[in-house]
Amino acid sequence: MNVLLVEDETRVADFIRRGLKAEGWLVEHAGDGATALEFLRDRRFDVVVLDLMLPGISGQDVCQRMRARQDHTPILMLTALGAIDDRITGLRIGADDYLPKPFDFEELLARLTALQRRSQAFSVQATNDRLVQDGLCFDRHSLLLTVDGREVALSEKERDLVALFMSHPRKLLSRERILNAVWGAQEDPMTNVIDVYVGRVRKKLGPYGHLIATVRGAGYRFA
The residues binding Ca ion (CB under 5 A) are: 8, 51, 53
Q: Which helix (H) or strand (E) covers residue 109, if one does? A: helix 105-129
Bridge-based pairing state of the strands 144-147 and 136-139: antiparallel
Q: How far is the CB of 106 from Ca ion (least distance, A)?
A: 22
Compute CA 71 distance to the chain's CA centroid, rounded to the nearest angstrom.
Answer: 4
Distance CA 159, CA 171 (A): 18
Closest to Ca ion by CB, 53 or 91: 53
Closest to Ca ion by CB, 1 or 53: 53
Q: How far is the CB of 8 from Ca ion (least distance, A)?
A: 5
3 state SS of 87: helix
Q: How far is the CB of 74 from Ca ion (least distance, A)?
A: 20
Closest to Ca ion by CB, 54 or 115: 54
Q: How far is the CB of 53 from Ca ion (least distance, A)?
A: 4
Q: Which helix (H) or strand (E) covers residue 21, if one does? A: helix 10-22
Phi, psi of 74 (to 5 degrees): -60, 140
Distance CA 62, CA 84 (A): 20
Closest to Ca ion by CB, 78 or 178: 78
3 state SS of 169: strand
Q: How far is the CB of 77 from Ca ion (least distance, A)?
A: 11
Closest to Ca ion by CB, 4 or 179: 4
The residue number whose beta carbon is nearest to Ca ion equals 53
Contact 3, 16 (CB under 8 A): no
Q: How far is the CB of 93 from Ca ion (least distance, A)?
A: 17
169 forms beta bridges with 222
Closest to Ca ion by CB, 51 or 71: 51
Distance CA 130, CA 145 (A): 10
